[in-house]
Amino acid sequence: MLVREAMSTVVLTIGPAHTLRQAAALMSARRVGAAVVYDPDAGGIGILTERDVLNSLGRGQDPDVERAHDHTTTDVVFAAPSWTLEEAAGAMTHGGFRHLIVLERDEPVGIVSVRDIIRCWTPVRRQRETPTVTA
């Protein structure tokens, strides 16, 4: 199976000046765990993840003051839609991250997460009936 078949095409793009609270609210509303941060002045595309927001809060930083730019990963590994899921999983494992921005012609077209890959690799299970308990 290929990345294009597993990726989410819901790509939240934010700017570097968004506060972490704004970024978290947008991520929550879209039900995504990462946002693409587009910053043409700092070299282009980065990623802000739920873990970045959590780490900032854990350090006691104010989410209304902290800016996405200061918490964005800019040393990003990008995937191509034509990668296999094995290639994507290998890149994630090697790099120690859970999301890959998928680029096509240098434009973000999707994000693939560990959850997306697991969903593809796990057979759909029929919901089991709840056992009846008798006393």
Q: What does the mean pLDDT of the chain come to? A: 91
Share of the chain above pLDDT 70, in %: 91
What is residue 106's predicted lDDT score, i.e. its pLDDT? 87
Determine the average pLDDT of the residues in 108-114: 95
pTM attached to this predicted model? 0.83
**Residue 10 — very low, low, confident or very high, per pLDDT cuts 50/70/90?**
confident
Instruction: State the fold for domain 3-121.
Output: CBS-domain (3.10.580)
Task: Indicate whether 132 pLDDT > 60.
Answer: no
Region class of 42: left (phi > 0), else alpha (psi between -120 and 50), else beta: alpha
The HSE-up count of residue 106 (CA atoms within 13 Å, CB side) is 2
Structural Rg of the chain based on CA atoms:
17
Tens digits of residue pLDDT in 89-105: 999 999 999 999 999 99
